[in-house]
Amino acid sequence: MIQTFHITRPDEGLRPLLKEKIDNLTKPKGSLGRLEELAMQIGLIQQTLSPILTLPQNLLFAADHGIADEGVSVSPRAVTWQQILNFLRGGAGINFLCRQHGFTLRIVDAGVDYDLPYERGILNKKVRRGSRNFLHEAALTWEELELCIKYGAEVVKQCHEEGSNVLSFGEMGIGNTSPSSVWMHLFTGIPLELCIGAGSGLDSPGIRHKRDVLSRAVANYTGDGSSLDIIRYFGGLEMVMTVGAMLQAAELRMVILVDGFIMTNCILAASRLYPEVLDYAVFAHQGDEAGHKLLLDWLHVRPLLNLGLRLGEGSGAVCAYPLVDSAVRMLNEMDSFAHADIIKYF
């Protein structure tokens, strides 16, 4: 039985009061641009004129992918577990960003094909040692899909119980741009070739090979075409676990910071099950992976940053966090015209 969630859109009744507060801060109306839009969104999520951000955490879900056996990534599968050990040493990109911006980094083993040192703080949610090769069969069984969604939700509940109300999401898994591209194609109708890019560094022949493999995989699909079946058939373990985590975060009215191409496809998949999840999503950046801009445009969302990032791990989401913090500080720390005894100006 797939876990169900109770996600409702934020009550719009507070919008006029939030707008009045934002418009009466000591600045020309609209002069803080995107910060004002963010402040409105976060105020609505938290249903308050004075929102706060507490204990931000970056949840990094990791797993291996059967489709990687087809040579769709320039990196060998072993890089997944090797990079996780680098996370533990504090030497990866996401480590310095989490340190800089005050995030707790939480590493979750969703399905890494390696015996990881869980005693060092990794959360063991391993469903299986890597997904199956979806060129030939479904990546996950229905039971595995159910467990991934359940475990992702459990991790978020734990963060919420610790006092977190804002989460960023990241991933580690060699080959995971391939299932992301297939999800994007099947959920949006955008031609598959426009959804496929270089991943971690494929050259032009490598990209052509990747397109051939994924085209054959889509042609071989024999499922019922439902959103859940597409998620199950082509999804990576860490991606499906992220879907469950995002849905749980939305149910708990937490702010969801969406990272790059893979995480945008996860929120896309989540929205196919519960469209309301998008009200809780802040899209952090436009990544350098081919297809990401097309997907953001299809979702009608504007990312906060465009820095040419394609690292994953939640790096772009954590990079964008100071802007979210600034939006909240604007609401809480700027004075009003009336209180400051300043004539309102435009």
| pLDDT at 200 > cutoff 80 | no
| pLDDT at 273 > cutoff 90 | yes
Kindly report the number of other CB atoms within 10 A of residue 41's CB atom.
20
Give the Cα separation of 271 and 261 in Å (integer).
15
Alpha carbon distances (Å) from 85 to 130, 149, 228: 17, 25, 32
pLDDT the model gives residue 274: 98
Average the pLDDT over 275-287 and give the result: 97
The answer to whether residue 211 sits within a structural domain is yes
Task: Give the model confidence (pLDDT) of 99-144 as tens digits.
Answer: 999 999 999 999 999 999 999 999 999 999 999 999 999 999 999 9
Average the pLDDT over 152-171 and give the result: 98
| pLDDT at 302 > cutoff 90 | yes
- On whether both 133 and 163 belong to a single domain, the answer is yes
Q: Which of 129-138, 159-168, 287-296 has the lowest mean pLDDT?
A: 287-296
- On whether both 163 and 38 belong to a single domain, the answer is no
pLDDT confidence band for 206 (50 / 70 / 90): confident
- On whether both 31 and 107 belong to a single domain, the answer is no
Give the Cα separation of 39 and 22 in Å (integer).
8
Percentage of the chain with pLDDT > 70?
A: 100
pLDDT confidence band for 229 (50 / 70 / 90): very high
Average the pLDDT over 4-33 and give the result: 96
Q: Contacts from 82-89 at CB under 8 Å and sequence distance 24+?
A: 83/172, 84/109, 84/112, 84/114, 84/116, 84/122, 84/172, 85/117, 87/60, 87/172, 88/117, 88/120, 88/121, 88/122
Amino acid found at 282: V
- On whether both 30 and 148 belong to a single domain, the answer is no
pTM of the complete model: 0.96
| pLDDT at 338 > cutoff 90 | no
The answer to whether residue 209 sits within a structural domain is yes
Give the Cα separation of 340 and 346 in Å (integer).
16
The answer to whether residue 179 sits within a structural domain is yes
The answer to whether residue 308 sits within a structural domain is yes
- On whether both 43 and 67 belong to a single domain, the answer is no
pLDDT the model gives residue 290: 83
Query: In CATH, what number is assigned to the domain containing residue 284?
Result: 3.40.50.10210
Average the pLDDT over 15-26 and give the result: 96
| pLDDT at 280 > cutoff 90 | yes
pLDDT the model gives residue 344: 84
pLDDT the model gives residue 250: 98
pLDDT the model gives residue 211: 95
pLDDT confidence band for 219 (50 / 70 / 90): very high
Strands 57-63, 104-111: parallel, antiparallel or unpaired by DSSP?
A: parallel
Task: Give the model confidence (pLDDT) of 44-69 as tens digits.
Answer: 999 999 999 999 999 999 999 999 99
Q: Is 285 helix (H, G, I), strand (E, B) or coil?
A: strand
Go through 93-102 and write b for each residue having 16 or more CB atoms within 10 A of its CB, e for each that does not. Answer: bbbebbeebe
pLDDT confidence band for 198 (50 / 70 / 90): confident
- On whether both 28 and 106 belong to a single domain, the answer is no
- On whether both 37 and 70 belong to a single domain, the answer is no
Which residue segment(s) compose the domain that 41 sits in? 12-51+330-340
- On whether both 140 and 248 belong to a single domain, the answer is yes
Query: In CATH, what number is assigned to the domain containing residue 18?
Result: 1.10.1610.10
- Average predicted confidence (pLDDT) for the chain: 96
- On whether both 70 and 47 belong to a single domain, the answer is no
Closest to 315 measured CA to CA, from 263, 275, 237 = 263
- On whether both 30 and 111 belong to a single domain, the answer is no
Q: Is 101 helix (H, G, I), strand (E, B) or coil?
A: helix
Give the Cα separation of 285 and 141 in Å (integer).
33
- On whether both 33 and 133 belong to a single domain, the answer is no
The answer to whether residue 153 sits within a structural domain is yes
pLDDT the model gives residue 345: 77
The structure tokens 């005693």 sit at 119
| pLDDT at 237 > cutoff 90 | yes
The answer to whether residue 2 sits within a structural domain is no
pLDDT the model gives residue 203: 87
Please give the positions annotated as active site.
313
Give the Cα separation of 150 and 313 in Å (integer).
21
pLDDT confidence band for 202 (50 / 70 / 90): confident
- On whether both 265 and 198 belong to a single domain, the answer is yes
Give the Cα separation of 119 and 92 in Å (integer).
20
Task: Give the model confidence (pLDDT) of 140-159 as tens digits.
Answer: 999 999 999 999 999 999 99
Closest to 271 measured CA to CA, from 186, 336, 187 = 187
| pLDDT at 208 > cutoff 80 | yes
The answer to whether residue 70 sits within a structural domain is yes
- Residue 343 half-sphere exposure toward CB, CA atoms < 13 A: 1
Q: Which DSSP string do the residues of 234-249 spell out, in sequence order?
A: H--HHHHHHHHHHHHH
Number of domains in the chain: 2
Q: Which DSSP string do the residues of 201-234 spell out, in sequence order?
A: T--HHHHHHHHHHHHHHHHH--S---HHHHHHHH
The answer to whether residue 346 sits within a structural domain is no
